[in-house]
Amino acid sequence: MMSIKEIDATALKEMMDNGEDICLYDIRSQAEYAQGIIKGGEFTPLHTIPVKMHDLPKDKTIVFYCRSGARSAQACMYVAENAGIEALNLRGGIISWYQSGNEIIRPDEMQANG
C-alpha cells in the first residue's frame, strides 16, 4: 500500500495565511458540504475524483479534506496511483480543523464574498 502525505490543521492554516498557492478540495457529500466548509474549499465529492482527477492542477499544492480524514486519504491514494499526483490529506479532516480553532464558513458565505 502506498503511503500518503498528510498535513495537519495548523500547517494548512499557516500555508493559507502565507498566501501559498493551494487548491483545497472538499470531498464530502452535498449535505456535509452545506453544513460548513473551510474557506476556499471546492466541492468535489469523492465519487467524482476519477472523472475530475485529470483537471487537477499540476503546479499547485492540492489538499483533500473530508469529515475525519479517511475519505480524503482514499482520494490522495487514488490520484497518486492513477494520475501521478501527490496530494496532501488534511489529517483529522474538517473536525480537526475546527477543533484547532479555525473558522468554518457556510458555502453561501464564500460565494457571496467571492
What is the bridge-based pairing of β-strands 22-26 and 88-90?
unpaired
The yes-or-no answer on residue 66 being catalytic is yes
Q: Which residues contact 23 (CB under 8 A, 6 or more apart)?
A: 42, 56, 57, 60, 61, 62, 63
Q: Which residue has the cell 497518486?
A: 80
Residue of 66, 76, 88, 94 with catalytic role: 66
Catalytic residues, by residue number, are 66
